[in-house]
Structure 1
């Protein structure tokens, strides 16, 4: 079987965050390049902007999210069951271990750790906990974990992979079988599909779509009327867009937003995986070759390429002008032309 990876190649007080911002950073190694396909890219990222390698040594870096109240980045390494913390001028170190499933790991579990991460409006970490097969919330000060959802209609999720939190507190998430050693054939599997869900603030779970082979990265437009979904499917390497109604539910079938078949056919590393959306509606979608930067209409402006598969990305930084990339065994960064 061709796996995705084969193809993909504490709340902290404000004064502490201010001190972190003033720390001097070292000179980082550089890798890859920005590919400018449209001059409109210059307003988002300069074509000559260097891609800096901030940290290395991970099995599969994933799920980055910037913590504004602490001035640091959290990112996951699902195979090693760790969430790491990177801070400017300080560097990277393990923050949460185990990040997902605690105790002995069954042989049928392939990725015991957390994957996609986000921060809610109260400053708490919310994670797609692949190993525990749940959506979970973690208090950053105490590291106390609370399971928010573990089942749909009484059956356990497969291995939640990525998520995004709306302004109302609803959580959209994807649930492919990547956490299982045997994927779709896993004896642990209880649901016979790989779903896309909405977890409402009241704890109820709604299934939005059960038709995709490998649903993965997920994001919302600034007005929260469009839900983006990346398909890590070698037969359908696409990003889709769902129109949402005023209640945050899809109004019909999704439309094609971005097709990455050409890059995949050319042998570029990666598949559609994680994605983020900036305040202007630009979509930063990882896929064959790196991070694809698109207009809200789906026009491809450029690609941030590290030379390796990029699993996910995050927008943030002390001044809101950093694009962080979790690229296989490393964490990287490229500066943006303006705050995201």
Structure 2
């Protein structure tokens, strides 16, 4: 399960594991008036060419927007052909409308109760993890609160959310990260922030509304995604932000109906002697696992791609900022959108997202 930063093979050409745009001279300009990028984009890194075949030779990483304080929770609406994402500290959500050059509404929703992760259900309704609850925006403009308490206690702070298409159930993580100054929970006598309850993953029954804890193995469960066949669930553990003993890993579970079993760390985020935090996660149609990662720096921050069978790192998309989350979108679900600190990035890939958003 080690992911060593190995020397590139000769057949990889310009690809270099660990190469970063900001190590070049001069640093790469991602802005709207940047000069054209020479193909193939050197910041799309092929580590294992036999397993990572998603790199497109004639496309480049584009910065679509900048000006956020912490960009999170991208979700693609297939009916409206637009992307929604959150700017948590600015208490707003933005929308990127595909076509006509990509129109951006900077205050699609404001205020948002410091919204974080988003998704859309099969009816095209947006589901959002707010600071203290999970809500759904109905087509008539009303808001339905899906979850605000569990186990008789307030939620710590919902983070990421997905919908199972077979039964409409809503699965969300509750690590307790805050939005602006404080993390969720209450300050203890020594000034630290304490969660209301053990950080966990929950399932909301679409028919009864029952909220049930399904896993609490991760110190702070963050991003969540289903495998293409819905037989596995992947959960990022970013608990090292608060728990020194926590490992920077992505957990894999077996999914049987409405239950998770057989938890085990599939992905170790270590690259040589460096290891960053796994945050958001998505899966492509081949089963490869795409993880937003960061807080390390050059050669690490961005998106890292792992094989589903053994969790080995097979590719990277290097960004000049930490990548909090990501999703596949566009008309063919082959455009990867990445929310990275202050900015929104996108790149076309030679694969498709396994799920609708």
Output the TM-score relative to the length of structure 1. 0.80
Q: 1:74 to 1:182 in 2, by over 3 A?
A: closer
2:199 maps to which residue?
A: 194
Q: CA deviation at 1:323?
A: 0.5
Identify unmatched segments of 5+ residues in structure 1: 1-25, 102-112
Aligned length: 295
Structure 2 CA distance for aligned equivalents of residues 213 and 186 of structure 1: 18
**Which residue, out of 249, 252, 258, partners 2:267?**
258
Q: 1:155 to 1:189 in 2, by over 3 A?
A: farther
Q: CA deviation at 1:339?
A: 3.4
Are 2:51 and 1:52 aligned?
no
Query: Is the 1:32–1:51 contact (alpha carbons within 8 Å) kept by the matching residues of 2?
Result: no
Q: 1:251 to 1:41 in 2, by over 3 A?
A: closer
Q: CA deviation at 1:228?
A: 0.5
Range with bigger deviation, 43-52 or 310-319: 43-52
2:152 maps to which residue?
A: 154
Question: In structure 2, the residue corresponding to 1:281 is in which secondary structure?
Answer: coil
Structure 1 CA distance for aligned equivalents of residues 76 and 291 of structure 2: 17
2:286 maps to which residue?
A: 280
Q: 1:291 to 1:317 in 2, by over 3 A?
A: same
2:335 maps to which residue?
A: 322
1:90-134 CA deviation, whole Å, 9 max, x = no partner? 3321211112x2xxxxxxxxxxx111110101110011112xx11
Q: CA deviation at 1:64?
A: 0.4
Question: In structure 2, the residue corresponding to 1:80 is in which secondary structure?
Answer: coil
Q: CA deviation at 1:225?
A: 1.4
Larger radius of gyration: 2
Range with bigger deviation, 85-94 or 46-55: 46-55
Q: CA deviation at 1:190?
A: 6.6
Structure 2 CA distance for aligned equivalents of residues 301 and 338 of structure 1: 14
Query: Is the 1:231–1:273 contact (alpha carbons within 8 Å) kept by the matching residues of 2?
Result: yes
Structure 2 CA distance for aligned equivalents of residues 149 and 285 of structure 1: 26
1:134 maps to which residue?
A: 133
Q: CA deviation at 1:331?
A: 0.2
Query: How do 1:235-274 residues align onto structure 2 when only pairs under 5 Å count?
Result: 235-245=246-256, 247-252=257-262, 254-262=263-271, 265-266=273-274, 270-274=276-280
1:8 maps to which residue?
A: none
Q: Which structure has more helix as a fraction of its residues?
A: 1
Q: CA deviation at 1:169?
A: 0.9
Query: How do 1:37-48 residues align onto structure 2 when only pairs under 5 Å count?
Result: 37-40=47-50, 43-46=53-56
The alignment yields a C-alpha RMSD, in angstroms, of: 2.4
Range with bigger deviation, 182-191 or 44-53: 182-191
Structure 2 CA distance for aligned equivalents of residues 274 and 209 of structure 1: 17
Query: Is the 1:42–1:337 contact (alpha carbons within 8 Å) kept by the matching residues of 2?
Result: no
Identify unmatched segments of 5+ residues in structure 2: 1-31, 188-192, 241-245, 295-299
Query: Is the 1:34–1:49 contact (alpha carbons within 8 Å) kept by the matching residues of 2?
Result: no
Q: 1:84 to 1:32 in 2, by over 3 A?
A: farther
Query: Is the 1:58–1:77 contact (alpha carbons within 8 Å) kept by the matching residues of 2?
Result: yes
Query: How do 1:57-136 residues align onto structure 2 when only pairs under 5 Å count?
Result: 57-88=67-98, 89-93=101-105, 94-99=107-112, 101=113, 113-130=114-131, 133-136=132-135
1:73-93 CA deviation, whole Å, 9 max, x = no partner? 111111111111002323321
Q: 1:42 to 1:237 in 2, by over 3 A?
A: closer
Output the TM-score relative to the length of structure 2. 0.76
Q: 1:237 to 1:209 in 2, by over 3 A?
A: same
1:295 maps to which residue?
A: 307
